[in-house]
Structures are given as structure tokens and as C-alpha cells.
Amino acid sequence: MPLRSKHLLGLEGMGKEEINLILDTADTFREILERPIKKVPTLRAVTVVNLFYESSTRTRISFELAEKRLSADSVNFSTDASSVKKGETLKDTVRNIAAMKIDMVVIRHRSAGTPHFLTQLLEASIINAGDGAHEHPTQALLDMYTLRKKYGKLKDLRIAIVGDIRHSRVARSNIWGMQNMGAKVAICGPTTLLPWEVEKMGVEVYHNLDEALSGADVVMALRIQLERQQSSYFPTLREYSQLFGITRDRLKLLNKDFTIMHPGPMNRGVEIADDVADGPYSVILDQVTNGVAVRMAVLYLLSGGEGKFEESG
């Protein structure tokens, strides 16, 4: 069974079968990352442009490594060193890049829906690397991969996502994806940082952290996104960390064999305490390693060409 779309725009509405296909494929690529030569010639003929209209460390390096490990040619674009500074519109920039014959575009943009807009402009496969506060599908896929690797399945896992849900594309993608896989997702944060009518997404909503953590298997702490907060959503960082910070004391509320996750970058001492972030139950760095394998899987699965099947003999 192949993926249904040649783009990866989001996990909303993506079925269990498709998600499992990506995670299974990622498992194969995870093995390649342990080889002496961590590179396969699979996407030799593919050119990928990484269009980052917003800053990024992990996602961008991760995509770039995934492309290189698959032998694709990749080109990087960031707004501060480009004609965007001279006032070129997104549409013009993208059309010009497309005129240079590319096969795939990885895009991050501050506006939700930008990757969807690009699908109308380009023939290339579009991969969403984060659009505003909407979706960040590869991050959610790597989170699910990391959990599936540890627990064997996602079904019936109790996952608490804590913090700034309102501005978080990681939270949205994870809520949709994990629920599709049969996990039970709870969210927790101050009322001002939860989206309106969030309960319609089918999650349990908590405003008290201890209640949200009781009986959970997994805690995902989200970053307080200071750059997206034009007005203040809570009085002080200190108050926030006292009410919603994941501290060592609170870990005893969790189920045995629990897992701590964070999509990064972390504000240490705000949403997550130092000793929790660096503890043995933390998979924060595994998430990063697995991210490369998951992105390789996505690039591979979206790169199918048009033509006949050929027996190789």
C-alpha cells in the first residue's frame, strides 16, 4: 500500500495504515544510520529544496541529513540571505526555484496553509516542515516512531501534552496522529494557552498539571513560544513554571516505565526542569536521532516516479 498523496501536508485525516507504513519504513532507515557508510544511493536523481522562512536548527539539519543520506541533491534557502530581504513575494520566489527543475520542496513558514498553497503552484512534492500554528507532521511522526519503538505500539498509551498548545503545531499534528493510532491524548495548560474549542479534537482538557499527569505513560512538554506571544498569556515565567513545569517531584504521578519528551528547543527551568530533561526516562535525544530516519522514510515514500514496474532479475 503506497501513500495516498504525493505531498505530506499534515497528519489530520491520515489513516493508521499510512502512518504505520511511514514508521515501518523509518525502522529500515534507522538501521542504515548504524552502518559504517550511512548513505544509500536511492534518491540520486532527486533534487530537494529546503525553504525555511522561519528559523530552525533541528528540523533543518535533520531534513538536510536525511536528504544527503539518501544521496539526493539538496539546496538550502533561508530568508535572511535571500531576495526575500529585497521584497520578493513567496509566490515569485517559489516559481523561480521551480524553474530550476526541482523534485521536492521542504517548507517552513510562519503562515498556516503555506505548503497547501505551494501544491497549487508547483509540480513538485511538498513536505510541510511546520506552517504557523497549524501542523508539523514529521515531528509528530518521529514522536510516534520513538514511542512505538519503546512500547511496541501506540494503542491505549496515555499521553499528556503540556504547555502552550495554542501556538503549537507540534501539538496539533501529534493530537491528530496519535489519536488516529489509538492513543489517548490529554492536554494541559493555562486557559489562555489552549485553543478555543480544543475539546472538539477529542482530547481530555486539564488546567491542573497534577490531574493531567496522574496515570499518564508519556509526558510531552512544549516550549513556551515567546516569539509568538504578542500579548502576555500568563503573569510571569516563574509562576508558569511553578504551575506547569515538569519537575522531578511530579514524575511520581506517572505510570511505571514512563517517558519524557520535548520537541525542542527547550527553555530549561521553565516548562521542563534540568534534571527531568537529562534523566534516564527522557528520550529527547532519541527523538532527534529518529527524526533523521523518519524524514528519510518520508522522502523515500514520496519520491515515486511515473513509469512502469520493471523486474530486476
What is the binding site for other proteins (CB under 8 A)?
2, 21, 24-25, 27-28, 31-32, 35-37, 39-43, 45-46, 300-301, 303-313
Q: For cell 530550476, name the residue.
A: 100
Dist. CA 103–CA 126, nearest whole Å: 9
CA distance 16 to 18: 6
Q: What would the grid cell of residue 34 be?
A: 548504524
Helix, strand, coil % (nearest 5) of the chain?
Answer: 40, 15, 40
Cβ distance 97 to 49 under 8 Å? yes
Nearer to other proteins, 24 or 88 (CB): 24
Strand-pairing partners, residue 108, are: 52
CB 103, min distance to other proteins, A: 9
The distance of closest approach from Cβ of residue 21 to other proteins in the complex, given in angstroms and rounded to an integer, is: 7
Look-up of cell digits 509568538: 228
Q: How far apart are CA 208 and CA 203, in angstroms?
A: 15
User: CB 148 → other proteins: shortest distance, Å?
Assistant: 16
Nearest to other proteins of 29, 233 (CB atom): 29
Give the nearer residue to other proteins in terms of CB position, either 129 or 302. 302
CB of 124 to other proteins, least distance (A): 14
Nearer to other proteins, 41 or 280 (CB): 41
| Min dist. Cβ of residue 20 to other proteins (A) | 11
For the bound state, the minimum distance from the C-beta of residue 39 to other proteins, rounded and expressed in Å, comes to 7
Cα separation, 35 vs 58, whole angstroms:
22
Using the minimum distance from each CB to other proteins, give the nearer residue, 16 or 268: 16
Phi, psi dihedrals of residue 184, rounded to the nearest 5°: -105, 120
* CB-nearer residue toward other proteins: 123 or 199: 123
User: Toward other proteins, which CB reaches closer, 47 or 255?
Assistant: 47
Taking the complex as a whole, how short is the minimal distance between the CB of residue 104 and other proteins, in angstroms? Answer: 12
Instruction: Tell me the closest approach of the beta carbon of residue 306 to other proteins, in angstroms.
Output: 7
User: Which grid cell sits at 101?
Assistant: 527543475
230: exposed, middle or buried (Cβ count in 10 Å: 0-12, 13-18, 19+) = exposed
C-alpha cell at 308: 512502469
- Give the integer Cα–Cα distance in Å for 29 and 35: 10
Helix (H, G, I), strand (E, B) or coil at 119: helix
Burial of 302 per CB tally in 10 Å (0-12, 13-18, 19+): buried
Closer residue to other proteins, CB minimum distance, 197 or 306: 306
